[in-house]
A = this chain, B = another copy of it.
């Protein structure tokens, strides 16, 4: 059975403002080296998944941009376009239905487009193991990341008993929300928790079955797709897609499903959730500063400096994020990076669409 990749690439551009924008979301940024995150994601699947078996799913607003950024990596036919953004469950269902028409059954690896992985070979080894397991079991398999610090920014997976006959695959006991710092420390020290990477692997037939079980209305609504030609599918989707429930795969399926397995992964993973976590992928210097670009500092500690076209000079600062882009400069306390969303809301209210 073939293994195919489906990369979810419809995220919007808020958390990395002002570098990210509505039309330049995180997945096309070069946060983690000299290549766009989406291209790192595609490239790290090879050679486990052949290039022609990797697909992106995104929305209308970003399809052209993603085609441009991925270049020869993606032919247009492998970029699936949702008529509108309705969270991850509808887009995975839609993609799985299209892939079933093409492949019959296959092992589907659902991946995020904007995560960082330092040890790519180990990543492929774990993905291969998950793929083998998913092929021979009727389970959804998630990849859980072995925690390296008490993160309050990730959801966790509590592992259950070991799957019989395996020395790495566990049953999932339950998914848990982002914890507070104390709880995160308990999770780290107990050893029974993994970070929820958002990656999951299953046969196409398995995931479609779970949609029928947990999201029957959505499943029913899109079921005509299997009988429609590509041309008919277009107008059908434009009509039906906007009526689907906006729900994530986590809430819609994962947290309701009992038969989920998890494979621990330890491959230098980070989802780089916001500017303050850039240190996960760019090693801090001896003063704790995470620097990308031209920087000169005096008495500067634990700052993040990200600059494109200009030198950034800092004096007497700590715990500050500074981002310089061609049309804007952000200076933000590290403790308040979550307020960037509020700032972009404010810009919207002010009619500053030029900055969104």
Write the residues of chain A forming the contact surface with B, with a CB cutoff of 8 angstroms.
18, 296, 298-299, 307, 310-317, 320, 322, 324, 326-333, 335-337, 339-340, 342-343, 346-347, 350, 352, 355
Known contacts A339-B298, A342-B298; A328 and B312 CB within 8 A of each other: yes
Closest to A333 in B: B316
Q: In the complex, what residues of B have CB within 8 A of residue A327's CB?
A: 310-311
Known contacts A310-B328, A328-B312; A317 and B333 CB within 8 A of each other: yes
Partner of A315 from B310, B311, B314, B332 at Cβ < 8 Å: B332
Partner of A347 from B296, B324, B343, B347 at Cβ < 8 Å: B296
Q: In the complex, what residues of B have CB within 8 A of residue A314's CB?
A: 330-332
Q: In the complex, what residues of B have CB within 8 A of residue A331's CB?
A: 312-315, 317, 320, 322, 331
Closest to A319 in B: B316
Query: What are the nearest 8 A-B pairs in CB distance?
Result: A316-B333, A316-B336, A315-B332, A312-B329, A311-B328, A313-B330, A315-B336, A314-B331
Query: A328 and B315: CB pair below 8 A?
Result: no
How many identical chains are in the complex?
A: 2
Partner of A346 from B298, B324, B326, B335 at Cβ < 8 Å: B298
Partner of A329 from B18, B307, B342, B355 at Cβ < 8 Å: B307
The SS class assigned to the A binding surface is strand
A350 to B336, CA, bound (A): 33
A310 CB to closest chain B CB (Å) equals 5
Q: Which of the listed residues A18, A316, A324, A350 has the most CB atoms from chain B within 10 Å of its own CB? A: A316
Closest to A347 in B: B296
A–B pairs, 18, beta carbons within 8 Å: A298-B346, A299-B336, A299-B339, A307-B329, A311-B355, A312-B328, A313-B331, A313-B332, A314-B332, A315-B331, A315-B333, A315-B340, A316-B332, A316-B336, A316-B339, A317-B320, A320-B320, A324-B329
Q: In the complex, what residues of B have CB within 8 A of residue A18's CB?
A: 313
Q: Which of the listed residues A316, A317, A331, A335 has the most CB atoms from chain B within 10 Å of its own CB? A: A331
Q: In the complex, what residues of B have CB within 8 A of residue A299's CB?
A: 336, 339
Q: In the complex, what residues of B have CB within 8 A of residue A337's CB?
A: 315
A322 to B277, CA, bound (A): 23
A316 CB to closest chain B CB (Å) equals 3
Q: Which of the listed residues A313, A316, A333 has the most CB atoms from chain B within 10 Å of its own CB? A: A313
A307 to B350, CA, bound (A): 19
A246 CB to closest chain B CB (Å) equals 28
Known contacts A298-B343, A313-B343, A343-B296; A329 and B322 CB within 8 A of each other: yes
Closest to A344 in B: B313
A312 to B317, CA, bound (A): 17
Q: In the complex, what residues of B have CB within 8 A of residue A342's CB?
A: 298
Q: In the complex, what residues of B have CB within 8 A of residue A296's CB?
A: 343, 346-347, 350, 352
